Amino acid sequence: MASHVIDEANRCLQCKNPRCRQGCPINTNIPEMIRLLKEDKMMEAAYMLFNNNPLSVVCSLVCDHQKQCEGHCVRGIKGSPVHISAIENYISDSCFERIKIEKKPYNGNKVAVIGSGPAGMTIAIILASRGYKITVFEARDQIGGIMRYGIPNFRLPHSILDRYADKLKELGIYLRPNFAIGQSTSIQDLFDDGYKAVYVGTGAWKPRRLRIPGETFGNVHFAINYLNNPDAVDVGDTVAIIGAGNSAMDVARTAIRQGARNVTLYVRRDRISASQDEADYAKLDGAKFAFQKAPIRIEDDGIVMADTELTEDGHVNVLEDTAVLIPCDTVIIAASQLPQDKLLHRDKDLQVNTNGTLKTDDSGETTMKGVFASGDVVTGAKTVVDAVHYSKLIADDMDNYIQSLSK
């Protein structure tokens, strides 16, 4: 691994106008990372990566590098791009435990963070380092949110998230697992207990339905529920997956690892929305793809699918007279997710957009004073790096807001 990383680092041209950095959603200084590594300053490179992106270890594994940093590398124009993700992962992973986050003295202010996914974790790390006392409320038994319960272990080892849990404790961050705000406790209760601000990063956990007959049948599962605990589901030999995003690829590869012999992804259009890397891995594992197919209804012994045609203006027409039953043991629907609405039932001051996401202003503040939000609960299901990028900005806004209270 080390020799591969050095070989790749030596291929970097140190461009004066680094397209790789422009392609990174969080603007990672990739040439600087590589320069420091080659000058035997790996710890300095690790600190630079962590300060720019606290979830650098995670992003080096799960980002869509083909569309982002590596997809913009000049080397890729006439050959193979520099394997930037491997370099970043080697540095971040090797140095993670040695990184000591500078922490300012306690400033007398408490902040509640609801949700421990990528957005909540980023907010907690940044504000804790600035002297805030942070309590993270997590509805599940372990931290990580979608990173732990929505990305398979073979793609993102859960041991990495366990290391992050240790890092949070090292920063003095309190973790309250198995505690869902919005049930026995409301956001107002947090303010009553003296928290100066509340951050909502509860993600997008509600499956988007297809709205076709049969979705409640026993042979049907939603991707987000299945990936949460695949061992709880016997998918049988033949699995039909509806969807073409990264989540659908994760479902396919997981089902194959669970013993399914015939796994097919059905796609409405003539192309996938997942990253090409993830699709290639799914094919390599044995998954098949059926393009321009749309589900009509689900039956006890399979799913009825019809052909589709694409119009010139990009719409999909379903040709229902072509519908046929495709026998299968299990149907898994991977059509994205929406935010849950438990908080809204308890705290009526929180408003949502028409698509169900939490309404915020430009500074990330919701319609409830002192409550901020970012990540999937605001944007809908996005990537880890998107959640980190926006949460860094919201952390600054929260800091400014709390400081303004004492003026």
pLDDT one-digit tens code per residue, 55-89: 999 999 999 999 999 999 999 999 999 999 999 99
329 & 347 share domain: no
Q: For 32-59, what is the mean pLDDT? A: 97
Q: Quick one: tokens of 376? A: 């999937």
For the chain, the domain total comes to 3
**pLDDT range class, residue 204, cuts 50, 70, 90:** confident
* 96 burial level (CB within 10 Å; 0-12, 13-18, 19+): middle
Q: Which of 302, 333, 364 is the last residue of a domain?
A: 333
Residue at a domain's end among 73, 98, 123 = 98
Residues 31 and 51 in one domain: yes
Q: Please give the share of the chain, as a percent, with pLDDT higher than 90.
A: 85
Mean pLDDT of the chain: 94
On whether both 63 and 6 belong to a single domain, the answer is: yes
- Structure confidence at residue 346 (pLDDT): 66
Prediction pTM value: 0.92
Looking at the structure, do residues 218 and 303 belong to the same domain, yes or no? Answer: yes
Residue 345 confidence (pLDDT): 63
If you search the block for the tokens 């490179």, which residue do you land on? 45
Half-sphere exposure of 283 (CA within 13 A, CB side): 11
Range of the domain at 226: 209-333
Confidence of residue 338 (pLDDT cuts 50, 70, 90): confident
Asked if residue 103 belongs to a domain, the reply is no
Q: How confident is the model at residue 340 (pLDDT cuts 50, 70, 90)?
A: confident
Number of Cβ within a 10 Å radius of residue 10: 10
Token pair listed for 193? 């207990």
Spatial strand order of the sheet with 133-137 comes to 174-176, 133-137, 110-114, 195-200, 371-373
| Contact predicate 297/326, CB 8 Å | no
Cα–Cα distance, 248 to 335 (Å, whole number): 8
In a domain, 54, yes or no: yes
Q: What pLDDT does residue 1 have?
A: 65
Please identify, among 333, 354, 389, the residue that sits at the C-terminal boundary of a domain.
333
Structure-block tokens of residue 148: 């732990």
Q: How far is residue 42's CA from residue 31's CA, in Å, rounded to a whole number?
A: 13
Three-class DSSP labels, 268-309? CCCCCCCCHHHHHHHHHHCCEEEECEEEEEEECCEEEEEEEE
Question: What pLDDT score was predicted for residue 314?
Answer: 81
Same domain, 283 and 344: no
Assess contact for 275 and 245: CB atoms under 8 A: no
CB 88 within 8 A of CB 49: yes
Quote the pLDDT of residue 65: 94
pLDDT, average across residues 124-144: 97
Q: At 253, is the pLDDT very low, low, confident or very high (cuts 50, 70, 90)? A: very high
| pLDDT over 70 percentage in the chain | 98
On whether both 342 and 200 belong to a single domain, the answer is: yes
Burial class for 263, CB neighbours closer than 10 Å (0-12, 13-18, 19+): buried
Residue 308 lies inside a defined structural domain of this protein: yes
Residue 326's pLDDT is 98
* Token representation of residue 156: 């993102």
Q: Look at residue 193 and tell me if it is in a domain.
A: yes
Contact 85, 70 (CB under 8 A): yes
**DSSP at 185:** B
Using one digit for the tens of pLDDT, what is the confidence trace for 87-114? 999 999 999 999 999 999 999 999 999 9
Q: Which residues face 207 on adjacent strands?
A: 337
d(CA 351, CA 91): 42
CATH of the domain at 297: 3.50.50.60
User: CA torsion, points 151, 156, 158, 164, in degrees to nearest 10?
Assistant: -110
Angle of helix 30-38 relative to helix 42-52, nearest 10 degrees, comes to 160
153-182: average pLDDT:
96
Band of pLDDT at residue 183, cut at 50, 70 and 90: confident
Residues 13 and 83 in one domain: yes
In the structure, what pLDDT confidence band is assigned to residue 347 with cuts at 50, 70 and 90? confident
Residue 105 placed within a domain: no
| Claim to verify: residue 371 and residue 314 sit in the same structural domain | no
Q: Which band of pLDDT confidence, cut at 50, 70 and 90, is reported for residue 182?
A: confident
Specify which residues 222 forms β-bridges with: 333
304 and 214 together in one domain = yes
Residues 16 and 86 in one domain: yes
- Confidence at 342, pLDDT banded by 50, 70, 90: low
Looking at the domain assignment, is residue 143 inside a domain? yes
